[in-house]
């Protein structure tokens, strides 16, 4: 079984896409691919649809086990990245169990 970790970010009122804090949050989250064990599958990026219902940014990653995901979530680099996002965005998380084929 794989756990698919999905995070959707909506920028807070008064925070624009070109705010330097947004670039810092994206870069910090993207860096988790190489700095946090288990994060190799982690991706983050800006919404491209422009739909009213869309989040501004999203992240998604597949983790081998719930334990690997927990280790990723509690790693100091992830905690710092989450803190950056909390200051500039509201966000929602969904962790899905993906059955093995």
Mean pLDDT of 51-63: 96
Token pair 């691919």 in the structure block, residue: 33
Number of domains in the chain: 1
**55 alpha-carbon distance from chain centroid:** 12
Q: Domain range spanning residue 59?
A: 2-98
Q: How far apart are CA 11 and CA 8, in angstroms?
A: 10
Q: What is the CATH number of the domain that holds 24?
A: 3.30.70.100
Q: How confident is the model at residue 15 (pLDDT cuts 50, 70, 90)?
A: very high
Which of 85, 83, 77 is closest to 19 using CA atoms?
A: 85
Q: What is the pTM of this model?
A: 0.92
Q: What is the DSSP string of 26-65?
A: HHHHHTHHHHSTTGGG-EEEE-SS--TT--SEEEEEEESS
Token pair 């190489």 in the structure block, residue: 34
Q: How confident is the model at residue 69 (pLDDT cuts 50, 70, 90)?
A: very high
């Amino acid at each position: 079984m794989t756990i698919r970790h999905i995070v959707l970010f909506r920028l807070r009122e008064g925070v624009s896409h070109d705010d330097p804090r947004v670039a810092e949050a994206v870069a910090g989250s993207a860096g988790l691919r190489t700095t946090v064990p288990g994060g190799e599958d982690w991706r983050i990026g800006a919404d491209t649809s422009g739909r009213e219902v869309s989040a501004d940014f999203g992240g998604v990653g597949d983790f081998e086990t719930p334990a690997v995901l927990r280790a990723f979530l509690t790693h100091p680099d992830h905690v710092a990245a989450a803190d950056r996002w909390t200051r500039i965005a509201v966000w929602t998380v969904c962790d899905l169990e993906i059955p093995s084929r």
